[in-house]
Amino acid sequence: MTAHSILERIAAIVGPQGLLTDPRDLEPYVVDWRGIYRGASPAVVRPASTAEVAAVVTLCAGSGTPIVPQGGNTGMCGAAVPHAGGNEIVLSLARMNRVIELDALNNTMTVEAGCVLANIQQAAAEADRLFPLSLGAEGSCQIGGNLSTNAGGVNVLRYGNTRDLVLGLEVVLPDGRIWNGLRSLRKDNTGYDLKHLFIGAEGTLGVITAAVLKLYPRPVTTATTWTAVPHPQAALEFLALLRGHCGDRVAAFELVSRNCLDLVLRHIPGTRDPLAQPHDWYVLADLSDSRAGAALRRELELALEAAMHDTLVSDAVIAENDAQSRALWRLRETIPEAARSEAGMLYRHDIAVAVSRIPEFIREAHTALRNRFSGVDIICFGHLGDGNLHYNAFLPGRSRSDPAARDAHDVTAVVYDIVQRYQGSFSAEHGIGLAKLGDMARYKSQVEMALMYTLKRALDPRGIMNPGKVLRQVMGDG
């Protein structure tokens, strides 16, 4: 079958609305939003239903045509972008954007893969429920992409990763069969758990077309505090104290270093230091509860008093209202933007270690980088409560074209080698895609890699599903 005749047959399945082939139309689909990964594709297919997805995949399986599933194309690792070879079609789920059902008494919501995350949050809120997944790209990312990358975000401490928010899935398998696992059950021990195979697989084992998501009681009160802590170990012990006092009401617990705050104050208009004196480290924490009233704030005050008594916290403010809370969160959320405003090279690392080992990791990695790269600045912030740091090394004055930029691999290797000794993760939230294939080979055990290849070969023997992402291309890949 020629490429042309395949496109004709796809057009017959999805109709003229469902197929883009004009290069101008393809542009937003063949490059990631940061412009780092650029590929080529003969066509973008935009099916309107699971049956259409299944028919397209069946056709591609028969002809050996590789498929790159794509959601909102907001990923960080290039998983949703085709390779440059030009033979992979992009399968966009964007037209499948219906909320199929919301069952408030079951605390579930059934959605198609192309639903934008913010719309899902909104639909949940209208039913007086919370869908807790929340991240920077929520206005444009799609739930199918969130599922395929097991997205993290700011509410993981309390509610878990995307994986933990799913009860059921519908998946079109690499041979075009539909697996209907759209169950909305809290308990079901009938055989192997298939959904967790597809969640986080970045589209390499099938196309997620719909999901049953968990909803939660909607918090009605929030208390936000910005606290100064003398060092990361104090932050860690403050977290334990806060959870001891407030249990699951601790919804977020973010660590911010002084130089991150300095970057924000320098580059982001309208920001100011919430505290009178500078401090080396800060914690931004949110409590939330479904009970109205002043009890939550009082609880936070008591915990802060105890933490100050134990010299874990040296100064603190509590937001008096939503506007103040948003202003405190803005100090945390604009760090990446502020860092991009500095002249120099930023080497980013989305790493995780055991929460208890964060202070030790920070000390060891700082020392190793400073010994090796003179002038390096560490931009360290992130989700301390999850053991997940955005541990970024900044080399001022350098640019990508600079010969010294070839240090990139070396900088990252210093960080990841330490992460490895801590039995940590070199990709806590962002996945593998194309960006971290080399790290998979370097840091994963042979047994673990072999198991993953075994699964890939068993489920996608022709290798047509997003080939060369997560795992390097295997025999049979297009």
Beta strands in 258-330 (DSSP E): 281-289, 315-318
* Residue from 95, 366, 457, 472 binding its own copies (CB under 8 A): 457
Please tell me the distance from the alpha carbon of residue 345 to that of residue 333, in angstroms, as a whole number. Answer: 20
* Residue from 40, 100, 127, 178 binding its own copies (CB under 8 A): 178
Listed in sequence order, the residues at least 6 apart from 424 whose beta carbon sits closer than 8 Å to its beta carbon are: 351, 352, 353, 354, 357, 361, 387
Q: Which region, judged by CB under 8 A, interacts with its own copies, from 43-51, 190-198, 273-281, 400-408?
A: 190-198
| In the complex, least distance from residue 372 CB atom to its own copies, rounded to whole angstroms | 25
| In the complex, least distance from residue 270 CB atom to its own copies, rounded to whole angstroms | 32
- Please say which residue, 394 or 426, places its beta carbon nearer to its own copies: 426
Q: What track of x and - describes contact with its own copies for positions 55 through 94 (by CB under 8 A)?
A: ----------------------------------------
Place of tokens 């990252």: 412
Closest by CA position to 134, among listed 333, 327, 282: 333
For residue 207, give Cα distances in angstroms to 204, 250, 275, 337, 442.
Answer: 8, 35, 49, 33, 28
Interaction residues for its own copies, span 287-326 (CB under 8 A): 289-291, 295, 299
Torsion of CA 277, 283, 284, 289, to 10 degrees: -130
- Please say which residue, 130 or 328, places its beta carbon nearer to its own copies: 130
**Binding of its own copies by 426 (CB under 8 A):** yes
Cβ atoms of 157 and 247 closer than 8 Å: no
| In the complex, least distance from residue 242 CB atom to its own copies, rounded to whole angstroms | 10
| In the complex, least distance from residue 42 CB atom to its own copies, rounded to whole angstroms | 29
Q: Which residues pair with 180 in a beta bridge?
A: 170
- Please say which residue, 153 or 274, places its beta carbon nearer to its own copies: 153
Interaction residues for its own copies, span 110-149 (CB under 8 A): 128, 149
**Binding of its own copies by 107 (CB under 8 A):** yes
**Binding of its own copies by 413 (CB under 8 A):** no
* Residue from 15, 136, 139, 244 binding its own copies (CB under 8 A): 244
CB-CB neighbours of 245 under 10 Å: 17
Q: Which region, judged by CB under 8 A, interacts with its own copies, from 267-275, 313-321, 322-330, 425-433?
A: 425-433
Interaction residues for its own copies, span 354-373 (CB under 8 A): 354-357
Residue count at the site for its own copies (CB under 8 A)? Answer: 96
Using DSSP bridges, classify how beta strands 44-45 and 207-214 pair: parallel, antiparallel or unpaired: unpaired
Closest by CA position to 70, among listed 10, 114, 13, 131: 114
Interaction residues for its own copies, span 195-234 (CB under 8 A): 196-197, 199-201, 205, 217, 219
**Binding of its own copies by 429 (CB under 8 A):** yes
* Residue from 210, 234, 428, 435 binding its own copies (CB under 8 A): 428
Interaction residues for its own copies, span 381-400 (CB under 8 A): 383, 385-388
**Binding of its own copies by 150 (CB under 8 A):** yes
- Please say which residue, 72 or 206, places its beta carbon nearer to its own copies: 206
CB-CB neighbours of 441 under 10 Å: 11
Closest by CA position to 173, among listed 211, 210, 207: 207
* Residue from 2, 17, 321, 423 binding its own copies (CB under 8 A): 423
Contacts 24+ apart (CB under 8 A), 15-19: 15/48, 17/46, 17/48, 17/95, 18/45, 18/46, 18/47, 18/48, 18/52, 18/95, 19/43, 19/44, 19/45, 19/46
| In the complex, least distance from residue 232 CB atom to its own copies, rounded to whole angstroms | 12
Within 128-251, where are the H helices?
143-149, 156-159, 195-198, 232-246
